[in-house]
Amino acid sequence: MTTSDQPGYRPAAPGSQPPLDAPAYGSTHKRHPKQPPLRIAATLTETSAPRMSAGLYPSHAELAKGPGWEAQGERIIVAGRVLDEDGRPLRGTMVEIWQANAAGRYNHERDRHDAPLDPNFKGEGRIFTDAEGWYRFTTIRPGAYPWRNHHNAWRPVHIHYSVFGAGFAQRLVTQMYFPGDPLLPIDPVFMAIPDAAARDRLVARFDLDIAEPEYALGYRFDIVLRGRAATPMENPA
Amino acid sequence: MTDEPRFGLTATASQTAGPFWHLIDFPAWADLLRADGPNAEVAGERIILTGRITDGDGAPCPDMMVELWQADPAGSYEGAFNGFGRCATDDDGMFRFTTLKPGPVRAAGNAFQAPHVALTLFARGLLHHLVTRLYFAGEALNEQDPVLSAVPPIRRATLIAQPEGAGVWRLDIRLQGERETVFLEV
């Protein structure tokens, strides 16, 4: 039975996405489905997406400093473009970030790490891409922090990203990492991605053109959402 | 199905939302009909969608981010209604959305899909989000819905919410094991 007269989205390139069952990452053990997912043809439910705007979801792209407050840490600018697999920019799409503070502590009641909180750092931002797909946040470089996955486990420095696309099937939550972090090759979350090139694309590039002189260093992180397939698919009968 | 030739860019890899995603939790978003939200003026049948999310041990998952995407009461994604919600599970693994009941959504040709909402789950331990659907028990269109029809009959019940009091629909989600929920690759 055909469910769609319109193309959906391309399946993931081999090795480019992490598996749900990743033995080195303990929290996957009881949370990964054992049955394979049912691949369905895209319908309007998958090719439509929420219309979000700064009017309903106010933007705040300045996490490092504001009137009467200033976060502790090394100021950085993270910027990049949101594109699809055909290189087309996604305009007006909502990008959210969240992160630990400079000491490696989240402003979150469940974070028990013995590192100081910074009353001037909440660690959450939201912005909408411009006509060319660009986003830009000013924040502070987060710290690494321990977790309990295994003995002496530390997460590499990272910023969490949440991105919406033009279709709900393009939804992406991921993490941006920093170049040269010695924790990357031993991190079970990062290393769960099979393809080395796909892992490398999660590492931001140091970019002096994004830096602001006398104020903040710059990092470039582009995000690619799934592209549309050329033809509709059929559901299994 | 055949894999199409790949060219151009490759989609960015997913990573877990981790345990601290609540920094982007805005509890009001679980109520799509909130007075200061986008749908305050939209008419329709007010419903509550709720359920418990459990892991392979049957233990509640208290740290999940659940997102909802649905059509309006006429089955359209392009009307005034903005059918997006986000909800954190509570200590018992329960999610709860307040919304309007969606109408049948166009499928291919002149066919219609049964009323449904898409649910997307993010959490610690999920390196990639999970996608499923919630249908409503008793809908005549369920029998010919193209997605439900593709699910083996013995597993269809994992996608069909049951009425639980006036206007309340319940669907429990089991990530792993016995009566595991059907997840979709879309």
Q: How far is CA A186 from CA B18, B39, B53, in A?
A: 17, 47, 31
pLDDT of A85: 96
Query: What's the whole-number mean pLDDT along residues B23-33?
Result: 96
Active-site residue identified among A160, A171, A201, A205: A160
pLDDT of B78: 93
pLDDT of A3: 47
A160 among known catalytic residues? yes
What one-letter code names the amino acid at B131? V
- Within a domain: residue B13? no
pLDDT-based confidence at residue B4 (cuts at 50, 70, 90): low
pLDDT in tens, A163-222: 999 999 999 999 999 999 999 999 999 999 999 999 999 999 999 999 999 999 999 999
Q: Is ipTM over 0.90?
A: yes
Element (H, E) at A47: helix A44-47
- Within a domain: residue B3? no
pLDDT of A237: 46
The CA-based angle A237-B6-B12, given to 5 degrees, is: 95
pLDDT of A2: 43
What is the interface size between A and B, counted as CB pairs within 8 Å?
Answer: 246
pLDDT of A236: 56
pLDDT in tens, B107-154: 988 899 999 999 999 999 999 999 999 999 999 999 999 999 999 999
The range of the structural domain enclosing residue B84 comes to: 21-174
Percent of chain B predicted with pLDDT > 70: 96
Asked whether the beta carbons of residue B24 and residue A8 sit closer than 8 angstroms, the reply is no
Give B21's contacts in chain A (Cβ within 8 Å): 98, 160, 173
pLDDT in tens, A139-169: 999 999 999 999 999 999 999 999 999 999 9
Tell me, what CATH number does B143's domain have? 2.60.130.10
Active-site residue identified among A9, A25, A106, A161: A106
pLDDT-based confidence at residue A54 (cuts at 50, 70, 90): confident
Active-site residue identified among A75, A155, A199, A228: A155
Mean model confidence pLDDT for chain B: 95
pLDDT in tens, B65-93: 999 999 999 999 999 999 999 999 999 99
- Within a domain: residue B2? no
Asked whether the beta carbons of residue A235 and residue B108 sit closer than 8 angstroms, the reply is no
pLDDT of A53: 87
Please give the Cα distance from A169 to A181 (Å, whole number): 32
State the number of CA atoms in the 13 A half-sphere of A172 facing the CB.
Answer: 28
pLDDT in tens, B104-113: 999 988 899 9
Q: Does B110 touch chain A (CB under 8 A)?
A: no
Asked whether the beta carbons of residue B107 and residue A9 sit closer than 8 angstroms, the reply is no
Topology of domain A26-225, CATH: Protocatechuate 3,4-Dioxygenase, subunit A (2.60.130)
Q: How many angstroms separate the CA of residue B166 from the nearest CA in chain A? A: 27
- Residue B141: how many CB atoms within 10 A of its CB? 18
| pLDDT at residue A235 is higher than 80 | no
- Within a domain: residue B14? no
Number of domains comprising chain B: 1
- Quote the strand ranges of B17-136, DSSP E: 46-54, 65-70, 84-88, 94-100, 105-106, 112-113, 116-122, 130-136
pLDDT of B1: 41
pLDDT of A232: 76
pLDDT of B8: 87
| pLDDT at residue B60 is higher than 50 | yes
Of A171, A229, A236, the CB nearest to B120: A171
Mean model confidence pLDDT for chain A: 95
